[in-house]
Amino acid sequence: MGDQEKTKRIIQPRLLKGFRDSLPEDEIPKKAIIAKLEGLFSSYGFVPIDTPALEYTEVLLGKGGGETDKQIFHFADNGGRDVAMRFDLTVPFARFLALHLNELPLPFKRFHINKVWRGENPQKGRFREFIQCDFDIVGLDNSEADYEILSVMHASFAAIGVENFHFHLAHRGLFNQMLAHLGIAEHNTEILRIVDKLRKIGTDEVREQLMALLASSEKADAILAYIEKADEDEPFLTTLSRLEELGGGESEHSIRMRTIYAYLCGAGIEEHFILDPSITRGLDYYTGLVYETFLTDLPHYGSVCSGGRYNDLASLYTKEHLPGVGASIGLDRLMSALSELQSPIAQAGSSADVAILNTAGNFTACDLAGRILRSEGIATSVYLAAKKIAAQYKWAEAQAIRYALISEDGGTFTLKDLRDKESWQGISATEAATIIRKEHH
């Protein structure tokens, strides 16, 4: 292909449906939120791991059913292997545990924040590439581990500056106990699937579907009585006692919930936790505590952090029994919620605190001023050409950079606060640093 032909052909720079670029105004707050969460997880002794984007399809689909199959990106690689892109972080974690069990200290507390891919049809707010944030404790089946995941969830939302949130808790074991008490334990899975749709299809439709399954209005009503909270403000322990009664009395499950609640009270964070038996979580693998997280000011966002206890996560890959408890934050949904709440962390718009504008044509002086400001902890972007000053201001403002430091003849500078238009003339870079730090803190 000759050079002339080359210059003629322009490839349309388009993106695949359901995929997005992340521009600086999205990427800066995303990184800020991830850094906060990573810091918080680390402060609790959770350690990071990563797994490959591609795995053997057989390994990833071992757990999934027919639904997942159509949703994943899979293909034959150059070596003819059937490979797939990971569609969540749970299945790779199970495989990871089985492969590295001898190298990991149990109980193992880990977090994993990275991209996953699903081929599902993109809807508003749903994409084919998105970031999951998972954290789990593996190797224990007790109320202390259950509690600590809840405690980390609570601390995570506090860390990113969200004030009004509630965690809705339920317990699979308590629900099953109630079904057993009604003599319908064998319909466990189907009933869970129906009940899980409560928010979507409403009480009447759920009742109808339960009737169709159980052929008993009495039993359908008993299930509805269990999952429906008469009073939103019913205290945690009152609800728990009521559920205990509907299940035929105290059990290891109700004792577990009571202990978890006592720990929440011990930490003084119990007011954020609601016992809500309508929470079921569709997935089969949960066996105990389950939970969802709602933002009080944005209930229509649905749950922004969900999870629960699973008592045999890695059983597809190992005979080792590995109980665990964990949660997953939908980072993209959380980010749009934070943006809608005008949360400060979602407003982070600029990397630099100061733009150095060069009008005197003395680049080295500007560069040295940048070095001085950076050494004082102030992020500084130097404008790298002696263009018209108006263009340089525009450039700083387009990036939401707050201060401009303009070089003067003779080696001094003018500092301008681009927000409130205050300015200081004839100063050195060190003096500028002092002013900026005073204003900032």
The first and second tokens of residue 430, run together, are 């060190």
Instruction: Candidates 56, 285, 393, 424: give the one binding its own copies (CB under 8 A).
Output: 56
Stretch that binds its own copies, among 92-100, 177-185, 202-210, 329-337 (CB under 8 A): 92-100
Interactions with its own copies, residue window 138-197 (CB under 8 A): 140, 142, 144-145, 147-148, 151
CB closer to its own copies, 247 vs 308 = 308
Instruction: Candidates 174, 289, 313, 382: give the one binding its own copies (CB under 8 A).
Output: 382
DSSP bridge pairs for 136: 110, 326
Interactions with its own copies, residue window 383-412 (CB under 8 A): 383-385, 394-395, 398-399, 401
Query: Rounded to whole angstroms, how far apart are CA atoms 234 and 275?
Result: 9
DSSP bridge pairs for 351: none
Minimal distance in Å, beta carbon 292 to its own copies? Answer: 23
Query: Rounded to whole angstroms, how far apart are CA atoms 373 and 51?
Result: 39
Asked whether position 205 contacts its own copies by CB under 8 A, the answer is no
Q: How many CB atoms lie within 10 A of CB 170?
A: 26
> Please, what sign has the CA dihedral across residues 281, 283, 289, 290?
negative
Asked whether position 315 contacts its own copies by CB under 8 A, the answer is yes
Query: Rounded to whole angstroms, how far apart are CA atoms 20 and 146?
Result: 36
Mask: binding to its own copies, 259-298, rule CB under 8 A, as x and -?
---xx--xx-------------------------------
110: helix, strand or coil: strand
Contact partners, residue 212, CB within 8 Å, separation at least 6: none
Stretch that binds its own copies, among 69-77, 228-236, 239-247, 402-410 (CB under 8 A): 69-77
Asked whether position 1 contacts its own copies by CB under 8 A, the answer is no
Whole-angstrom CA distances from 1 to 8, 11, 12 are 11, 15, 19
Stretch that binds its own copies, among 111-119, 173-181, 275-283, 427-435 (CB under 8 A): 111-119
Minimal distance in Å, beta carbon 308 to its own copies? Answer: 17
Q: Total residues at the site for its own copies (CB under 8 A)?
A: 108
Query: Rounded to whole angstroms, how far apart are CA atoms 160 and 36?
Result: 6
Chain centre to alpha carbon of residue 269:
21
Instruction: Candidates 158, 213, 368, 427: give the one binding its own copies (CB under 8 A).
Output: 368
CB closer to its own copies, 149 vs 279 = 149
Asked whether position 252 contacts its own copies by CB under 8 A, the answer is no
Asked whether position 44 contacts its own copies by CB under 8 A, the answer is yes
The first and second tokens of residue 410, run together, are 């003779």
Minimal distance in Å, beta carbon 438 to its own copies? Answer: 20
Angle (CA) 381 387 391, round 5°:
75
Whole-angstrom CA distances from 130 to 17, 294, 319 are 13, 20, 32
CB closer to its own copies, 61 vs 210 = 61
Interactions with its own copies, residue window 318-347 (CB under 8 A): 318-319
Instruction: Candidates 54, 158, 213, 237: give the one binding its own copies (CB under 8 A).
Output: 54
Largest CA distance in the chain: 91
Minimal distance in Å, beta carbon 167 to its own copies? Answer: 17
Q: Could you write out the DSSP letters of every residue in 150-177?
A: HHHHHHHHHHTT---EEEEEEEHHHHHH
* Radius of gyration from C-alpha coordinates of the chain: 28
Instruction: Candidates 23, 215, 230, 390: give the one binding its own copies (CB under 8 A).
Output: 23
Stretch that binds its own copies, among 225-233, 242-250, 312-320, 413-421 (CB under 8 A): 312-320
Asked whether position 66 contacts its own copies by CB under 8 A, the answer is no
CB closer to its own copies, 3 vs 204 = 3
CB closer to its own copies, 109 vs 333 = 109
Minimal distance in Å, beta carbon 249 to its own copies? Answer: 26
DSSP bridge pairs for 306: 328
CB closer to its own copies, 97 vs 243 = 97
Minimal distance in Å, beta carbon 330 to its own copies? Answer: 17
338-376 burial, b at 16+ Cβ within 10 Å, e below that, comes to beebebebbebebebbbbbbbbbebbebbeebbeebeee
Asked whether position 64 contacts its own copies by CB under 8 A, the answer is no
